Amino acid sequence: MTETPPRATGEVALVGGGPGAPELLTLAAVTALREADVVLYDRLAPPVLAEFAPQAEHVDVGKRPGHHQLSQSGIEALLITQAQAGRKVVRLKGGDPFVFGRGGEEARACRDAGVTVRVIPGVTSAIAVPAAVGIPLTHREVSRMFTVVSGHAPLTAAELDHLAGLARTGGTLVILMGVLHLAQICQGLAAAGLPPGTPVAIIEQGYSPHQRLLTTTVASIAVTAAEHAVRSPAVIVIGEVVRLADQDPAAAADLHRAADLS
C-alpha cells in the first residue's frame, strides 16, 4: 500500500535581516532561512546566505550593476509564483521588512493572490546603527521620542516645519537613505527654526569593518559630508542625544563587538 505524500504547501516569509551583522539575525530569521527552498535578497551579502541557507536557491533581485534586476511588481510576481509552486520562499530584507522595505506591499500582494505570508520583524538600522556608536535614540531628560524618516525624496515644507518643531522640543530625528538630499534636508530644518548648533551624527556603513562616525552640527553638515566624502549607506541622527556618542575609540570598539562576531 502506497500513499501519495501531500503536496507541499508553499508560503512566503518576509524576513528582517537586521543591520548587517549576522549575529543580529533573529532565531526566527535563521529558522526561516534554514527551511527555505528559495531566498530573494537584495541587500545582505551572500555569505549570510551561504551560512544559513546553503540548501536554497538564491535570487539576487537587487538593482546593482551586472546583476539580475527585477521591478517591484516583478519581485511580487516571483514571490507568488514560487509559493504557488509549493516552495518555501524567504524574502530577506535589510533591517526590518516593514520599515521602508516595501514589505507592506509584498505582504498585500501575496495575500491578494491567496498565498500564505508571514512577517518576521528584524533589528532596524535606524536604532541599531546609532547604538553601535553609543547613541541612544531616547534618553531620560534629553529625548522622549524619535522620528525615523526616509530622505530618499526631498521633504515638503510642512514636513520640515514639524520635524524641526519636534527636534526643538527635544525629539531625536533619524534619517535613512538621506545622503543624497542631506544638504537640502538640513537647510530646510534650519530654515524651519532648528538651531544651527544642533548636533548631527553621520554613521556610515554601520556594522561593517568600514563603519565610520562623523559628528558635526546642522549648520556644518553639508561641509562635513563633502569634506569626508560621505556615501551611502549612512544613518543620520539629529538631536542632543548625539552628544552621548562614544568618542573613545577603545570603548567604541567594545560597543561594536556585537557586530564583530561574524
**Closer residue to a second copy (CB): 57 or 112:** 112
CB burial of 43-69 (b: ≥16 within 10 Å; e: otherwise) equals ebeeebbeebbeebebbbbeeeeeeee
Q: Measure the CA–CA gap between 1 and 114, rounded to whole angstroms.
A: 34
Select from 105, 227, 228, 231 the one that contacts a second copy (CB under 8 A): 105
Select from 119, 200, 213, 225 the one that contacts a second copy (CB under 8 A): 119
Interacting residues with a second copy between 64 and 93 (CB under 8 A): none
Select from 94, 171, 233, 239 the one that contacts a second copy (CB under 8 A): 171
**Closer residue to a second copy (CB): 138 or 224:** 138
Q: HSE (CB half, 13 Å, CA atoms) of 29?
A: 24
User: How many residues touch a second copy (CB under 8 A)?
Assistant: 77
201 part of the interface to a second copy, by CB under 8 A: no
Interacting residues with a second copy between 33 and 62 (CB under 8 A): none
**Closer residue to a second copy (CB): 164 or 200:** 164
Select from 128, 190, 213, 225 the one that contacts a second copy (CB under 8 A): 128
124 part of the interface to a second copy, by CB under 8 A: yes
Interacting residues with a second copy between 134 and 153 (CB under 8 A): 134-140, 144-150, 152-153
CB burial of 219-258 (b: ≥16 within 10 Å; e: otherwise) equals bebeebbeeeebeebbbbbbbbbbebbbeeeeebeebbee
163 part of the interface to a second copy, by CB under 8 A: yes
Q: HSE (CB half, 13 Å, CA atoms) of 246?
A: 16
Q: Measure the CA–CA gap between 72 and 75, rounded to whole angstroms.
A: 5
Listed residue (256, 221, 258) closest to 238, CA to CA:
221
Active-site pick, 63, 248, 254, 260: 63
Closest contact distance (angstroms) between CB of 86 and a second copy is 17
Q: What are phi and psi of 234, to 5 degrees?
A: -145, 145
**Closer residue to a second copy (CB): 224 or 252:** 252
Q: Measure the CA–CA gap between 22 and 52, rounded to whole angstroms.
A: 9
Select from 77, 183, 230, 258 the one that contacts a second copy (CB under 8 A): 258
Interacting residues with a second copy between 3 and 32 (CB under 8 A): 11, 16, 18-19, 21-28, 30-31
Q: What sign has the CA pseudo-torsion 111, 13, 38, 62?
A: positive
Interacting residues with a second copy between 215 and 244 (CB under 8 A): 241, 244
The single residue listed with the C-alpha cell 561594536 is 256
180 part of the interface to a second copy, by CB under 8 A: no
Active-site pick, 37, 42, 88, 96: 42
Tell me whether residue 63 is one of the annotated catalytic residues.
Answer: yes
Tell me whether residue 42 is one of the annotated catalytic residues.
Answer: yes
Give catalytic residues, as residue numbers.
Answer: 42, 63
